[in-house]
């Protein structure tokens, strides 16, 4: 069994098709199929059901999936360890983060730019997802770390390092009756048409909890799984929204105003991380560079 066969297997699983997996691996489909047929012969079973709907895992394929992922992660860590001893930096960095416009003090863009200039051999991958999924990805070792809101029931194997803390505020179109208001009562907010985050987002959890504490209920009629999409809808008058104050750039989104809440919930953003010894050299180096940049910005 070869590592490249495991890579081909996971490519088909993730792409759902031999054709797309072959394109991703920059090889012809016949070669990828031959690689997987050899793997299936060695294992003595079919891993995929091949049909018009694409490639679907068999029971054996599903059982093989987690060990294959673990084997590739182990191989990557082994290569990183050798490279570290030789004084080189290679490998990959996977970072889970929220698909929101982060405050400039903690965004990843400048760190990525500098890091790739210094270490062009490292592959950096940013994985946008919701806060609960980020915790699971870090816990399972599928990402090196996450830039995530604080969650109440994080895994005991994780450590959370806070970076910023900011109020949840109301976001309104310019000219709305609440635009620019201070200490708004949630009773007034609940009457409005609200563009909501989906369940699983920390801001939605905090907002729902604040409403429940005041005995307020509302009918959720619109959910958008994208912060920039929510701001665009507010800008165009679809409704009002809510979100972390530090993540609202009214200069970029002209036509959007903010109203503060009375006794607002606090939204925290930070780094979720496992035992540092479990990450490769590239992950440790990137995280160190990110922490340094956040510290520089805070000091400044």
For the chain, the domains span 3-70, 83-163+269-299, 165-268
Between CA 40 and CA 46 the distance in angstroms is 6
Arithmetic mean of pLDDT, 213-230 = 89
Helix (H, G, I), strand (E, B) or coil at 2: coil
Helix (H, G, I), strand (E, B) or coil at 171: strand
The pTM for the full model equals 0.65
Q: How confident is the model at residue 239 (pLDDT cuts 50, 70, 90)?
A: very high
Arithmetic mean of pLDDT, 276-300 = 73
pLDDT at residue 262 in the model: 92
Pick the CATH number of 165-268 from 3.50.50.60, 3.40.190.10, 3.40.50.880, 3.20.20.80: 3.40.190.10
Arithmetic mean of pLDDT, 228-246 = 92
Between CA 110 and CA 185 the distance in angstroms is 38
> Are the beta carbons of 274 and 138 closer than 8 angstroms?
yes
Domain 3-70 of CATH type 1.10.10.10: yes
Q: Do 165-268 and 83-163+269-299 fall under one CATH topology?
A: yes
Q: What is the pLDDT of residues 55-106, one digit of tens each?
A: 888 999 899 999 998 888 888 777 766 766 555 566 788 898 876 667 778 8
Q: Measured between alpha carbons, how far is residue 126 from residues 29, 92, 227, 284 in Å?
A: 28, 11, 17, 15
Q: How confident is the model at residue 240 (pLDDT cuts 50, 70, 90)?
A: very high
* Residue where the block lists tokens 């940049």: 293
User: Which one, of 106, 98, 108, lies nearest residue 129 by Cα?
Assistant: 98
Q: What is the CATH number of domain 83-163+269-299?
A: 3.40.190.10
Q: How confident is the model at residue 297 (pLDDT cuts 50, 70, 90)?
A: low
């Amino acid at each position: 069994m070869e590592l490249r066969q495991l890579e081909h297997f996971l490519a088909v699983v993730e792409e759902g098709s031999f054709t797309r997996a072959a394109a991703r691996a920059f090889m012809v489909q016949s070669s990828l199929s031959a690689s997987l047929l050899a793997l299936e012969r060695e294992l003595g079973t079919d891993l995929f059901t091949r049909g018009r709907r694409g490639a679907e895992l068999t029971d054996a394929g599903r059982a093989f999936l987690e060990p294959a992922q673990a084997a590739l992660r182990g191989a990557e860590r082994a290569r990183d360890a050798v490279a570290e001893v030789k004084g080189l930096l290679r490998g990959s960095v996977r970072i889970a983060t929220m698909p929101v416009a982060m405050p400039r003090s903690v965004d990843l863009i400048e760190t990525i730019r500098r890091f790739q200039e210094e270490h062009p051999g490292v592959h950096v991958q940013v994985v946008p997802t919701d806060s609960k999924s980020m915790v699971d990805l870090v816990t399972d070792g599928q990402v090196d770390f996450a830039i995530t809101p604080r969650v109440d029931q994080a895994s005991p194997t994780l450590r959370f390092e806070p970076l910023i803390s900011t109020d949840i505020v109301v976001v309104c179109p310019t000219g709305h009756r609440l635009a620019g208001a201070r200490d708004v009562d949630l009773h007034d907010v609940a009457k409005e048409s609200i563009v909501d985050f989906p369940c699983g987002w920390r801001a939605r959890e905090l907002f729902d909890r604040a409403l429940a504490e005041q005995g307020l209920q509302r009918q959720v009629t619109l959910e958008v799984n994208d912060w920039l999409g929510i701001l665009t809808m507010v800008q165009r008058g679809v409704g009002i929204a809510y979100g972390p104050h530090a993540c609202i750039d009214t200069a970029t989104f002209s036509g959007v105003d903010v109203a503060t809440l009375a006794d607002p919930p606090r939204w925290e953003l930070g780094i979720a991380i496992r035992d540092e010894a479990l990450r490769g050299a590239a992950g440790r180096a990137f995280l160190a560079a990110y922490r340094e940049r956040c510290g520089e910005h805070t000091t400044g």
